[in-house]
A and B are shown apart, each in its own frame.
Chain A
Amino acid sequence: MNHSEARLMIGAEPRSSSAELAEHLATCPECTQFQREMTALDNNIRRALEQGPLPVFGPSASVTPISNARTTRHRKRAGWWPGWALAASVAIASLLVIWVLRPTDTLAHDIVAHVEFESASWSSKEPASAADINDALARGGVALDMGSDRVMYAHSCWFHGRLVPHLVVHMPQGPITVIILPDEKVKHRTSFHESGISGVITPAPHGSIAVLAQGDENIDAVARQVQKSVHWLQ
Chain B
Amino acid sequence: MRGVRNSGPRTPVSSFNGSTVGAAASDPIVRLFESMRPDLLRFAHWLARDRAIAEDIVQEALLRAWRSREALKDPAAARAWLLTIVRREHARLYERKRLELVALDDGVEPEGMPSPPGPDSELDSLRGAILKLPLEYREPLIMQVLGGFSTAEIAQELSLSSTAVLTRLFRARNKLRTLYGLTPAPDDSESEGVA
Which residues of A come within 8 Å of B, CB atoms? Answer: 4, 7-9, 11-14, 34, 37-38, 41-42, 44-55, 57-71, 96-97, 100-101, 104-106, 109, 113, 117-118, 126, 129, 131-132, 135-136, 155-158, 161, 163, 166
Contacts and interface: CB of A to CB of B under 8 A. Distances in A.
B88 interface: no
B125 to A, nearest CB: 4
A62 B110 CA distance: 9
Contact of A48 (B26, B108, B126, B165): B126
B128 A54 contact: yes
A19 to B, nearest CB: 17
Interface residues of B, number: 69
B14 interface: no
Nearest to A108: B119
B28 interface: yes
Interface centre among A60, A68, A106 (most CB of B within 10 A): A60
7 contacts: A9-B166, A12-B173, A63-B108, A135-B32, A136-B35, A155-B38, A156-B35
A104 B123 contact: yes
Contact of B123 (A47, A97, A132, A166): A47
Contacts of B145: 42, 45-46, 49
Given A41-B176, A57-B104, A12 B186 contact: no
Nearest to A120: B18
B127 interface: yes
Given A52-B42, A135-B31, A63 B125 contact: yes
B151 A62 contact: no
B123 A41 contact: no
B46 A49 contact: yes
Interface in B150-195: 151, 165-167, 169-171, 173-174, 176-177, 179-182, 185-186, 188-189
B130 interface: yes
Nearest to A93: B181
Given A8-B189, A67-B180, A60 B166 contact: no
A129 to B, nearest CB: 6
B22 to A, nearest CB: 12
A100 B126 contact: no
Nearest to B47: A53
Contacts of A62: 107-109, 115, 125, 128
Given A69-B112, A104-B122, A131 B31 contact: yes
A57 B25 CA distance: 36
Given A57-B131, A158-B38, 15 more contacts: A11-B171, A12-B167, A41-B182, A45-B141, A53-B49, A58-B107, A62-B109, A64-B179, A66-B181, A100-B180, A104-B119, A104-B120, A105-B123, A126-B19, A131-B26
